[in-house]
């Protein structure tokens, strides 16, 4: 074993330095320089105590014993042996035994910031230190022998093996068949001792119960596994394990077999460290069969427990993941809780005002070992460490953590169980006394009444015998009654609070119920509405079918419209009547119109009056807009009719078709939808053939115009329902003409007065935009107005207009006459 680098004997060792990046408040004392080799205060104290008085050993016995075992460095791997050249220097060691009770821990060079400034810490005060070459028997004789003796003497004891993973805990506790550990040696010792005692004293017969179980992690929790049976229903209840198998062992061979079978069942995992994954606990309970009942009782309480804790792991080193990581968390957590319990016990012992924290509740192991961790039963620790440089951090952590535990004291251990039983008996005695006292009081009353002489005598006897005792009982009674009162009040308060909570809960439940009901109603309503909507949409889908009446009407309307448009042409002489041609035209129209009519018929079902008006207004606006675009001159159309001739008719037809095309285009832009699209396309198609056909047809229509007027009884054609339910008069080719559509705009008027367009707009248009928006006038009325309206004369700025107006007056006279000749029949 190589001595520490800063060990004794160095000629001029570098001054030890303390590297502290984050110094704690209660800074540790600087590490003891090894050059001085002075024993620490604790070891000095222990030595002094040992030397001073024969009772010193007893004092030392009262302290928590902490042993340290340094395991040998692992041998080089066989691969390395055969192939790699032998290392010149032995592997560096950071931990060496510095004396009987102390070790020196040197920071390895690899961990030093400045290699020149070596640093060594000395940890002393250990009960014993076992160097790597110490045998299992050495360890047993110093660690376990005293505990076994105490156990056989009827006292419980616990040995806990602590340390990082792979430090030799399992080796220390179980050992191997060739090199048995503490447990086999203990069992051997127990049975050999029993044999000797049975040989010597035949009065007592001892037998032992053996149990072995492990606590391991299960997900994020813990569970117990019995290593001697396959029982699964093991429950941990108040420091005892229910369902745990205890096997009677009568000889060492049986015990050895049990230990082996238990070890085979123990959970280990192939981690980097190939370590145990559980805390293994072995208990040996002595059962004494003695003639003396009292001694049997006390001896039967003794339990010897050996705990082989799972080694704390560093995540970085093991590289554990998933379940293994959870396991190592559990292991580290248990070690931490165990350490916290001991720390708390020490703090409590140092300062009685500090409460003993209940850290033991945080893990199953510490709950099981509660009595030991609260200082009521004796415990011994054996720390296992690895001395290699690589294990410096693990060793340092363990030594720093465990070295203060040596100061933990066990006082009044012997009396503890007695104290407990005494306390219990005292309480029961007090209760009995209370009952007695009540009886006595009762008897006193009875005695006063003179009813029962025996009771009277007894009460007098009691009162005379122990007055002081009565006083104590009185005070106790008062205390108990006060406690009772407090508890009753508390219970009442709790009851009322609970009542209130219950009421609130009921209220909130009711509210929730009513809200649910409301929601259900709403749902039903929504469903009904949805159904209605579906029905409506279905009916709408079915609706767009061709209606003969509509077609007929459209025929009529179109003829009426033609009549309207052809009013100005009535003076033409060469218009031949041709019903067949008209029928042709009608059939063409009929082919075009059904879609439109169907669509227009269908819409009013869906739309309200307001919506229809609104859409009507939009349509009118669009048409107006088109009218504006195609020819603002049309606003002066009243005069155009007078100049009608065959040429003008052609022009007007083409104008009309252009105008209607424009209108159709704008309508298409504005209104989406397949049906509308179809309608407009059809209309455009019809218009494309218009210029010639229309002129010919217009000529032919002339007599029909008269007829149609007679048929409808007025010039006003039947109104057409637009896609959106809006009503406006039909124009040429069934196109609605919401405005006072000019029938035959004259080319000349456009060329003559191009600059007057804007000026004429507000005044010359008798049917201004506002009016059109509000309501559509019947075509006849509009025409009459056009012909007679005074606003025609308003445009006096230009002589031409005046002249045309005067012509219009003449034309209106003609129209009036025409109307008089054919008075309207009245609308259907
Ligand atoms: N004192 C020793 N002498 C010889 N070999 C030892 C000694 N201590 C430990 N070993 C060996 O080191 C290896 C690891 O030891 P062991 O399994 O006891 O470690 P451990 O602390 O129980 O690990 P874990 O907590 O992970 O279970 C074993 O192969 C064991 O034989």
Check residue 296 and give its pLDDT.
55
Block residue for tokens 């005598």: 457
Instruction: Report whether residue 276 contacts ligand 1, using a CB cutoff of 6 Å.
Output: yes
Interval between CA 326 and ligand 1 midpoint (Å): 23
Instruction: Report whether residue 72 contacts ligand 1, using a CB cutoff of 6 Å.
Output: yes
Quote the CATH superfamily of domain 61-73+87-227+241-411.
Answer: Kinesin motor domain (3.40.850.10)
Please give the Cα distance from 345 to 365 (Å, whole number).
16
Interval between CA 155 and ligand 1 midpoint (Å): 30
Interval between CA 280 and ligand 1 midpoint (Å): 15
Please give the Cα distance from 695 to 654 (Å, whole number).
9
Instruction: Report whether residue 167 contacts ligand 1, using a CB cutoff of 6 Å.
Output: yes
Q: Is the pLDDT of residue 96 over 70?
A: yes
Check residue 139 and give its pLDDT.
93
Check residue 541 and give its pLDDT.
73
Interval between CA 144 and ligand 1 midpoint (Å): 19
Which atom of ligand 1 is least distant from the CA of 136? 1
Q: pLDDT band for 298, please (50, 70, 90 cuts).
A: low
Q: List the binding residues for ATP.
A: 163-170
Check residue 236 and give its pLDDT.
82
Q: pLDDT band for 513, please (50, 70, 90 cuts).
A: very high
Q: Is the pLDDT of residue 305 over 90?
A: yes
Interval between CA 315 and ligand 1 midpoint (Å): 20
Which atom of ligand 1 is least distant from the CA of 132? 1
Q: Is the pLDDT of residue 517 over 90?
A: yes
Check residue 443 and give its pLDDT.
67
Q: Which of 165, 167, 168, 327 to mutate to test the pocket of ligand 1 (most atoms within 8 A of CB)?
A: 168
Q: pLDDT band for 650, please (50, 70, 90 cuts).
A: very low
Please give the Cα distance from 279 to 664 (Å, whole number).
92
For the chain, the maximum distance between any two Cα atoms, rounded to a whole number of angstroms, is: 161
- Please indicate whether residue 292 or residue 532 has the higher confidence score (pLDDT): 532
Q: pLDDT band for 512, please (50, 70, 90 cuts).
A: very high
Q: Is the pLDDT of residue 490 over 70?
A: yes
- Residues 231 and 283 sit within 8 Å (Cβ to Cβ): no
Residue with the smallest CA separation from ligand 1 atom 11 is 168
Check residue 316 and give its pLDDT.
61
- Please indicate whether residue 286 or residue 301 has the higher confidence score (pLDDT): 286
Q: pLDDT tens digits for 774-793?
A: 455 555 566 556 555 444 44
Which pair of structure tokens corresponds to residue 773? Answer: 């928006």
Q: Residue 126: count other Cβ atoms within 10 Å of its Cβ.
A: 26
Average pLDDT over residues 403-426: 64
What angle (nearest 5°) sits at the alpha carbon of residue 51, between those of residues 50 and 52?
A: 100
Segment among 276-285, 286-295, 403-412 with least mean pLDDT: 286-295
Neighbouring residues of 190: CB distance < 8 A, sequence distance ≥ 6: 148, 151, 152, 208, 284
Question: Is residue 770 exposed (0-12), middle (13-18) or buried (19+ Cβ within 10 Å)?
Answer: exposed
Question: Is residue 439 exposed (0-12), middle (13-18) or buried (19+ Cβ within 10 Å)?
Answer: middle
Q: pLDDT tens digits for 342-362?
A: 988 888 888 888 888 888 888
Phi (first) and psi of residue 612, to 5 degrees: -60, -45
- Please indicate whether residue 380 or residue 820 has the higher confidence score (pLDDT): 380
Phi (first) and psi of residue 617, to 5 degrees: -60, -45
Q: pLDDT band for 302, please (50, 70, 90 cuts).
A: confident
Cross-strand pairs, 388: 93
Check residue 503 and give its pLDDT.
93
Q: Is the pLDDT of residue 499 over 50?
A: yes
- Residues 211 and 247 sit within 8 Å (Cβ to Cβ): yes
Q: pLDDT tens digits for 207-236?
A: 889 999 988 877 778 888 888 888 777 888
Which atom of ligand 1 is least distant from the CA of 71? 1
Average pLDDT over residues 67-85: 71
- Please indicate whether residue 502 or residue 425 has the higher confidence score (pLDDT): 502
Phi (first) and psi of residue 68, to 5 degrees: -125, 125
Check residue 294 and give its pLDDT.
57
Cross-strand pairs, 334: none
Q: Residue 534: count other Cβ atoms within 10 Å of its Cβ.
A: 10
Which atom of ligand 1 is least distant from the CA of 308? 22
Q: Is the pLDDT of residue 636 over 90?
A: no
Residue with the smallest CA separation from ligand 1 atom 16 is 168
Which pair of structure tokens corresponds to residue 221? Answer: 């929790």
Which atom of ligand 1 is least distant from the CA of 275? 26
Quote the DSSP letter at residue 755. Answer: T
Q: Is the pLDDT of residue 65 over 50?
A: yes
Q: pLDDT band for 392, please (50, 70, 90 cuts).
A: confident
Q: pLDDT tens digits for 440-480?
A: 666 666 666 666 665 556 555 656 666 777 778 888 888 88
Q: Is the pLDDT of residue 677 over 90?
A: no
Check residue 238 and give its pLDDT.
74
- Please indicate whether residue 583 or residue 265 has the higher confidence score (pLDDT): 265
Q: pLDDT band for 282, please (50, 70, 90 cuts).
A: very high
Check residue 550 and give its pLDDT.
42
Average pLDDT over residues 741-748: 41
Instruction: Report whether residue 278 contacts ligand 1, using a CB cutoff of 6 Å.
Output: no
Mean pLDDT over the full length of the chain: 66
Could you report how far apart the first and last alpha carbons of the chain are, in Å?
Answer: 128
Check residue 385 and give its pLDDT.
92
Quote the DSSP letter at residue 238. Answer: T
- Please indicate whether residue 334 or residue 530 has the higher confidence score (pLDDT): 530
Please give the Cα distance from 635 to 631 (Å, whole number).
8
Please give the Cα distance from 762 to 753 (Å, whole number).
16
Q: Is the pLDDT of residue 641 over 80?
A: no
Q: pLDDT tens digits for 98-153?
A: 888 888 888 887 777 666 666 788 888 889 999 898 999 999 999 999 999 888 88
Q: pLDDT tens digits for 586-635?
A: 454 444 444 444 444 444 444 455 555 555 555 545 555 554 444 444 44
- Please indicate whether residue 287 or residue 777 has the higher confidence score (pLDDT): 287
Check residue 775 and give its pLDDT.
52
Interval between CA 182 and ligand 1 midpoint (Å): 13
The HSE-up count of residue 536 (CA atoms within 13 Å, CB side) is 11
Reference 635, options 733, 772, 729, 734; nearest CA is 772
Q: pLDDT band for 243, please (50, 70, 90 cuts).
A: confident
Q: Is the pLDDT of residue 705 over 90?
A: no
Q: What percent of the chain has pLDDT over 70?
A: 44
Block residue for tokens 């590490």: 31
Q: pLDDT band for 497, please (50, 70, 90 cuts).
A: very high
Q: List the binding residues.
A: 163-170
Block residue for tokens 């203990």: 186
Interval between CA 451 and ligand 1 midpoint (Å): 83
Reference 150, options 349, 346, 305; nearest CA is 305
Instruction: Report whether residue 163 contacts ligand 1, using a CB cutoff of 6 Å.
Output: yes
Check residue 828 and give its pLDDT.
40
Check residue 581 and give its pLDDT.
44
Quote the DSSP letter at residue 569. Answer: G
Check residue 362 and give its pLDDT.
86
Interval between CA 275 and ligand 1 midpoint (Å): 9
Residue with the smallest CA separation from ligand 1 atom 31 is 171
Which atom of ligand 1 is least distant from the CA of 130? 1
Residue with the smallest CA separation from ligand 1 atom 26 is 275
Interval between CA 167 and ligand 1 midpoint (Å): 5
Q: Residue 274: count other Cβ atoms within 10 Å of its Cβ.
A: 10
Buried b (16+ CB within 10 A) or exposed e, 291-325: eeeeeeeebbebbbbbbbbbbbbbeebbebeeebe
């Amino acid at each position: 074993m190589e001595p520490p680098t800063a060990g004794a004997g160095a000629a001029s060792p570098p001054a030890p330095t303390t590297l502290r990046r984050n110094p704690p408040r209660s800074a540790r004392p600087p590490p003891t320089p090894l050059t001085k080799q002075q024993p620490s205060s604790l070891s000095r104290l222990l030595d002094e105590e040992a030397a001073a008085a024969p009772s010193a050993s007893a004092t030392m016995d009262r302290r928590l014993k902490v042993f340290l075992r340094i395991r040998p460095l692992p041998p080089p791997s066989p691969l390395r042996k055969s192939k790699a050249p032998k290392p010149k220097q032995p592997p560096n060691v950071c931990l060496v035994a510095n004396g009987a009770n102390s070790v020196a821990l040197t920071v390895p060079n690899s961990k030093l910031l400045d290699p020149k400034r070596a640093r060594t810490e000395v940890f002393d005060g250990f009960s014993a230190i076992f160097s790597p070459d110490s045998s299992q028997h050495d360890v047993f004789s110093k660690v376990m022998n005293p505990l076994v003796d105490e156990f056989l003497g009827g006292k419980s004891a616990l040995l806990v093996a602590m340390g990082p993973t792979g430090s030799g805990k399992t080796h220390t506790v179980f050992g191997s068949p060739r090199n048995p550990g503490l447990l086999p040696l203990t069992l051997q010792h127990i049975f050999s001792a029993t044999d000797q005692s049975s040989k010597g004293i035949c009065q007592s017969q001892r037998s032992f119960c053996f149990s072995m179980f492990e606590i391991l992690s299960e997900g994020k929790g813990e569970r117990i596994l019995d290593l001697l049976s396959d029982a699964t229903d093991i429950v941990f209840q108040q420091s005892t394990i229910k369902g745990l198998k205890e096997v009677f062992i009568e000889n060492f061979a049986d015990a050895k077999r049990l230990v082996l079978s238990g070890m085979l069942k123990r959970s280990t995992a192939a981690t980097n460290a190939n370590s145990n994954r559980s805390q293994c606990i072995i208990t040996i309970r002595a059962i004494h069969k003695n003639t003396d009942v009292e001694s049997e009782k006390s001896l039967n309480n003794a339990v010897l427990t050996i705990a082989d804790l799972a080694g704390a792991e560093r995540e970085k080193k093991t590289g554990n993941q998933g379940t293994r990581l959870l396991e190592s968390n559990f292991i580290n957590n248990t070690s931490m809780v165990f350490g916290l319990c001991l720390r708390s016990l020490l703090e409590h012992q140092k300062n009685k005002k500090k409460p003993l924290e209940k850290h033991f509740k945080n893990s199953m192991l510490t709950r099981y070992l509660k009595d030991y961790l609260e200082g009521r039963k004796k415990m011994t620790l054996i720390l296992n460490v690895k001395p290699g440089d690589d294990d410096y951090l693990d060793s340092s952590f363990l030594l720093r953590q465990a070295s203060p535990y040596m100061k933990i004291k066990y006082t009044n251990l012997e009396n503890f169980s007695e104290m407990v039983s005494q306390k219990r008996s005292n309480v029961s005695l007090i209760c009995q006394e209370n009952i007695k006292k009540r009886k006595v009081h009762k008897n006193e009353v009875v005695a006063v009444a003179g009813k029962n002489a025996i009771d009277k005598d007894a009460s007098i006897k009691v009162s005379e015998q122990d007055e002081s005792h009565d006083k104590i009982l009185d005070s106790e009674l008062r205390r108990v009654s006060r406690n009772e009162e407090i508890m009753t009040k508390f219970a009442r308060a709790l009851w009322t609070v609970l009542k209130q909570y219950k009421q609130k809960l009921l209220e909130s439940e009711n509210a929730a119920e009513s809200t649910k009901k409301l929601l259900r109603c709403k749902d039903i309503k929504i469903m009904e509405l949805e159904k209605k909507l579906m029905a409506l949409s279905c009916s709408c889908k079915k609706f767009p079918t061709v209606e003969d009446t509509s077609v007929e009407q459209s025929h009529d309307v179109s003829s009426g419209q033609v009549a309207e448009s052809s009013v100005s042409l009535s003076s033409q002489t060469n218009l031949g009547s041709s019903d067949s041609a008209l029928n042709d035209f009608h059939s063409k129209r009929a082919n075009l119109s059904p879609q439109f009519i169907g669509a227009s018929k269908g819409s009013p079902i869906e739309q309200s009056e307001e919506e229809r008006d609104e859409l009507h207004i939009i349509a009118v606006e669009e048409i107006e807009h088109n009218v504006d675009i195609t020819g603002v001159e049309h606003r002066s159309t009243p005069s155009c009719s007078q100049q009608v001739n065959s040429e003008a008719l052609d022009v007007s037809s083409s104008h009309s078709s252009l105008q209607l095309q424009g209108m159709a285009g704008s309508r298409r832009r504005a209104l989406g939808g397949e049906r509308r699209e179809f309608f407009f396309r059809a209309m455009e198609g019809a218009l494309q053939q218009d210029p010639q056909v229309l002129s010919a047809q217009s000529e032919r229509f002339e007599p029909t115009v008269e007829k149609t007027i007679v048929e409808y009884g007025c010039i006003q054609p039947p109104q057409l329902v637009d896609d959106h339910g809006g009503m406006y008069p039909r124009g040429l080719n069934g196109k609605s003409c919401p405005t006072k559509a000019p029938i035959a705009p004259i080319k000349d008027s456009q060329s003559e007065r191009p600059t007057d367009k804007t000026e004429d707009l507000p005044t010359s248009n008798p049917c201004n935009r506002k009016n059109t928006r509000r309501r559509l006038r019947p075509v006849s009325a509009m025409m009459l107005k056009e012909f007679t309206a005074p606003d025609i004369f308003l445009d006096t700025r230009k002589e031409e207009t005046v002249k045309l107006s005067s012509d219009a007056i003449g034309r209106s006279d003609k129209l009036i006459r025409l109307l008089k000749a054919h008075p309207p029949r009245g609308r259907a």
